[in-house]
């Protein structure tokens, strides 16, 4: 996923970029609107994170101009003052979603996923491993033509493993990806989700293997 972060607060923009990089995504930063116009003209982005109050103008103007040019790149507005004086609904201006600062990365990630899912509704993206197909847009898995629905955390867990099969993920890594950091999560919780996933994929040639003392990995049955 390629992201453009339009944010004038350098430290915030930089940490956002770090977060996207840690998850294997690319992110460019624009600290003002002038650079942002330049970036969107030369590069295609999967998603744009846009701040409202920028040094050289209002993020809403950028949003309007982009939509007038028929640029339909999903945009999530990050704002600190949304509730106070925004008389024009930013969603009416063409934003796909908004998030109020300060936000959790996990929430931002969830919103990005939701927006991308909505935008790519007609373009079903499939993740496959072994004889299991994972459809993130519809939150379903299909094994030998038999479809099962997934809960959000089950989907997130499977997405992590399907994106990196045969890679070991520790309980901490999994917890960080599917739970809010401020949530109090017991170690058993991950085991509960892993057990559910195992039950859903038991008829496939794929297993979620426990690497004792290390974590879990997705692999095929020998």
Partner 1 sequence: MVINLLQKINFPNLSIKQRLVLQLVIVSILIAFSLFFLIKNITNQVMTTTQDRLLTASLNSIIDKFYTSNKDISLDLPYDTFSLLGAISEDKLFYKINYNDKFLTGYQKFPMVLKYGNLRKPIFYNLIFENEKIRVAAIKHSIYVNGKKNLLFIKIGQTLNFQSSISSQITNNLLLIILIFLVLSIILVLLATRISLQPITLLANDLNKRKPNDLTLVKNNVPIELAPLVLSLNSFVKKFRGVLRTTETFVAEAAHHIRTPLSIVKSESEIAFLKSKTKSNREHLRNIIRSIDETNRYTTQLLDNAMVLYRLEKLEKQNFSITKSLVHLINVFKPAADLKDINFSTTFNFKSKFIVTDKLLFETAIRNLIDNSIKYAPIETNINLDYKFFNNVHEIKIKNQINKKLNTSKSALFKRFYRGQNSKNIIGSGLGLSLVNEIILGLNGQFKILKYKEKEFCISVQFFC
Q: In angstroms, give the least distance from the CB of 87 to partner 1.
A: 8
Q: Which is nearer to partner 1, 113 or 200 (CB)?
A: 113
CA–CA distance, 7 with 79 (Å, rounded to integer): 10
**Helical residues (DSSP H) of the chain, grouped into ranges:** 10-22, 33-42, 59-68, 82-85, 105-119, 152-163, 171-178, 187-200
Q: Which is nearer to partner 1, 107 or 202 (CB)?
A: 107
Q: Which two tokens stand for residue 187?
A: 């170690």
Non-local (6+) Cβ contacts of 75 within 8 A are: 47, 48, 49, 50, 63, 66, 94, 95, 96
Q: Which is nearer to partner 1, 172 or 210 (CB)?
A: 172
CA–CA distance, 198 with 178 (Å, rounded to integer): 17
Packing angle, helices 152-163 and 171-178, rounded to 10: 130
Give the binding site for partner 1 (CB under 8 A).
9, 11-12, 15-16, 18-19, 22, 53, 80-81, 83-85, 87, 91, 97-98, 100-107, 110-111, 113-114, 151-153, 172, 176, 179-182, 184
Q: In angstroms, give the least distance from the CB of 69 to partner 1.
A: 26
Q: In angstroms, give the least distance from the CB of 205 to partner 1.
A: 27
Q: In angstroms, give the least distance from the CB of 44 to partner 1.
A: 24
Q: Which is nearer to partner 1, 46 or 97 (CB)?
A: 97
């Amino acid at each position: 996923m390629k992201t453009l972060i339009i944010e004038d607060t350098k430290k915030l923009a930089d940490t956002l970029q770090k977060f996207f990089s840690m998850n294997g995504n690319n992110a460019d930063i624009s600290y003002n609107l002038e650079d942002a116009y330049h970036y969107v003209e030369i590069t295609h982005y999967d998603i744009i994170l846009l701040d409202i109050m920028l040094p050289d103008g209002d993020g809403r103007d950028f949003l309007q101009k982009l939509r007038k040019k028929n640029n339909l790149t999903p945009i999530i507005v990050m704002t600190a003052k949304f509730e106070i004086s925004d008389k024009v609904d930013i969603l009416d201006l063409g934003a796909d979603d908004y998030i109020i600062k300060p936000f959790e990365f996990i929430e931002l990630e969830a919103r990005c996923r939701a927006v991308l899912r909505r935008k790519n509704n007609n373009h079903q993206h499939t993740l496959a491993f072994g004889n299991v197909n994972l459809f993130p847009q519809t939150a379903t898995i299909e094994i030998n033509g038999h479809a099962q629905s997934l809960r959000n955390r089950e989907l997130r867990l499977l997405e992590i493993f399907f994106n990196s099969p045969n890679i070991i993920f520790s309980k901490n890594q999994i917890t960080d990806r599917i739970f809010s950091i401020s949530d109090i999560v017991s170690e058993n919780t991950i085991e509960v989700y892993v057990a559910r996933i195992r039950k859903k994929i038991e008829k496939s040639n794929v297993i979620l293997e426990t690497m004792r003392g290390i974590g879990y990995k997705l692999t095929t049955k020998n």
